[in-house]
Amino acid sequence: MTQRSFPIERGHVLAFARALGAEPDPGGAVPPTFPIAYAHFDPDWPLRMRPGRPWQGSGAGPGGGGAGGGGLHAEQEFTYFRPLRVGETLVPSKRDGRTWSKEGRSGVLDFTERHTDFHDADGELVARATAVTVRTRPAGGAA
């Protein structure tokens, strides 16, 4: 398996900042939620079109089926051990976090935590992104 990488590119940070109605930080720091944009470089990211593969969006018809199915995004956290800078390349690695359940109005809510750790060129942990997703199952049903 080839090593994953997340190059922090000036144009990408510019486009991301503008999507938030802002301009990039003149000092080269990245917006607090920027690590989510690793999705572009993530070989496993399901929510983009790929040549030759089915896609759920509309064309001649309204679309349907295909990608998604990862549960609902309930919470997100970013932790910085130092500021990230335009021009550096990070090495992301994913790992599972905690799982827990609670009773909801329409059944049992199953929460799943997934971490992405970002290391710099010196192997130092510089940032972590944590996503919590939730799926609902009918009370008494199997997970």
Partner 1 sequence: MSTPATVIVGDERTEVVVEDLRRTQIVMYAGAGGDFNPLHTDEPFATRVAGHPTVMSHGMLVMGLAGQVLADWFGTANVRRYRARFQSPTWPGDTLTVTARVDELRTEGGEHLAELTLTTTNQDGRAVLGGSATVVTAGEAT
From 5, 7, 10, 32, residue interacting with partner 1 (rule: CB under 8 A): 32
Q: Please provide the DSSP assignment of 45-102 as one string.
A: --SS--TTS---S-SSS---SSS--S-EEEEEEEEESS--BTT-EEEEEEEEEEEEEE
Interaction between residue 78 and partner 1 (CB under 8 A): yes
Interaction between residue 125 and partner 1 (CB under 8 A): no
3-state class (DSSP) for residue 34:
helix
Tokens of 45: 């990211």
From 7, 20, 125, 139, residue interacting with partner 1 (rule: CB under 8 A): 20
CA distance 99 to 110: 7
Q: How many helices (H) and strands (E) does the chain have?
A: 1, 5
The nearest distance, CB 65 to partner 1, in angstroms, is 9
The nearest distance, CB 142 to partner 1, in angstroms, is 26
User: Which stretch, 9-17, 89-97, 98-106, 112-120, contacts partner 1 (CB under 8 A)?
Assistant: 9-17
CA distance 12 to 104: 39
From 51, 62, 140, 141, residue interacting with partner 1 (rule: CB under 8 A): 62
Which residues sit at the interface with partner 1, rule CB under 8 A?
Answer: 12, 15-16, 18-22, 25, 27, 29-33, 36-40, 42, 45, 47-49, 56-58, 62-64, 67-68, 72-80, 83
